[in-house]
Amino acid sequence: MSYINVEKENSGNIDLYYEDHGTGKPVILIHGYPLSGASWEKQIAVLLAAGHRVITYDRRGFGKSSQPTTGYNYDTFAEDLHKLVTQLELRDFSLVGFSMGGGEVARYFGKYGSTGVSKAVFVSAVPPFLLKTPENPEGVDGTVFDGIQKAVVADRYAFFTEFFKNFYNTDLLLGKRVSEQAVQASWNVAVGSSATASLACVPTWHEDFRKDLTRVDVSTLVIHGDADRILPISASGLRTAKLIKGARLSVVKDGPHCITWTHADEVNRELVNFLGEGAGKRAGTAS
């Protein structure tokens, strides 16, 4: 088991668990809420077979990483990612973020630029700006996030049960594209997360990433399901694809939020084709 120390909280270390497999051009897979790096299992084997070095890690508070009570904001999440990149001495790597992980990708560019980064992928991702405001009418009403926080405080175990119904659109896809056991496995991972992290991450979902996205100047792919109930495509994926110059948009028909599981074949095909193209030309420079 591999860990990287990113910080301390009082007398204890804050360590991130990561896995580093294969050879070739590095791809960092960043998971969504409330799961862990293991949630990429349907992508890892395929990317390894395609000749990539595949790196996953667990966000602080989740999976096998430490569970501090501090640092649940995107500046810190991006800093954690940067420390991993630095320790592993990565060059010419791709960043792939699912759901909340897409925020890390955006903020990484916002804080550190594109040095060393060859490509970016946003899968069912939270950018660009989810909160509805007078100048952002396409967003989601703030009362929705308030309600989620109240539900987490009241009984996060019950909340996760309801959350995964919309995560996988189980009313339509259970027994077809996702099994009861897979949903249960996700719930098991979720309840093992930090209670602090389970709550503190919710308000980060409406972070404004629009300025960060203006700094994404590498080849970019946006993949989103058109039946996503967690992050509706109209409020997230479609807008992200428009804000990043030259971004490619791939819409998964009838895809729920967790298309990495329910529509893994389609997602994997897009990932392998995109990551295997060229040498990661800068957006706007390709012929």
Nearest-angstrom CA–CA distance, 41 and 182: 12
Nearest-angstrom CA–CA distance, 14 and 70: 10
Q: In this predicted model, what pLDDT tens digit does every residue of 37-69 receive, in sequence order?
A: 999 999 999 999 999 999 999 999 999 999 999
Q: In this model, does residue 280 exceed pLDDT 60?
A: no
Q: In this predicted model, what pLDDT tens digit does every residue of 188-244 receive, in sequence order?
A: 999 999 999 999 999 999 999 999 999 999 999 999 999 999 999 999 999 999 999
Position 76 scores a pLDDT of 98
Tokens found for residue 285: 């420079």
Q: In this model, does residue 281 exceed pLDDT 60?
A: no
Catalytic pick from 65, 99, 124, 219? 99
Percentage above 70 pLDDT, the chain:
96
Averaged over 10-20, what is the pLDDT? 98
Q: Residue 220: exposed, middle, or buried by beta-carbon count in 10 A (0-12, 13-18, 19+)?
A: buried
Work out the pLDDT band at 278, boundaries 50, 70, 90.
low
Percentage above 90 pLDDT, the chain:
94
Work out the pLDDT band at 138, boundaries 50, 70, 90.
confident
Averaged over 11-32, what is the pLDDT? 98
pTM summary value: 0.95
End-to-end CA distance of the chain: 44
- Catalytic, 257? Answer yes
Position 189 scores a pLDDT of 98
Catalytic pick from 52, 224, 257, 263? 257
Mean pLDDT of the chain: 95
Q: In this predicted model, what pLDDT tens digit does every residue of 141-190 receive, in sequence order?
A: 899 999 999 999 999 999 999 999 999 999 999 999 999 999 999 999 99
Hey, which CATH number is domain 2-275, 3.90.170.10, 3.40.50.1820, 3.80.10.10, 3.30.413.10? 3.40.50.1820
Catalytic pick from 94, 228, 236, 250? 228
Q: In this predicted model, what pLDDT tens digit does every residue of 73-111 receive, in sequence order?
A: 999 999 999 999 999 999 999 999 999 999 999 999 999
CB 126 within 8 A of CB 230: no
Give the dihedral sign, CA 37/43/44/45: positive
Q: How many other C-beta atoms can be found within 10 angstroms of the C-beta atom of residue 38?
A: 16
Strand order across the beta sheet in which 219-225 lies: 2-9, 12-21, 53-57, 26-30, 93-98, 117-123, 219-225, 248-252
Work out the pLDDT band at 277, boundaries 50, 70, 90.
confident
Which residue's structure tokens are 């967690």? 230
Nearest-angstrom CA–CA distance, 87 and 81: 10
**Domain range summary for the chain, segments of one domain joined by +:** 2-275
Position 139 scores a pLDDT of 87
Averaged over 126-130, what is the pLDDT? 97
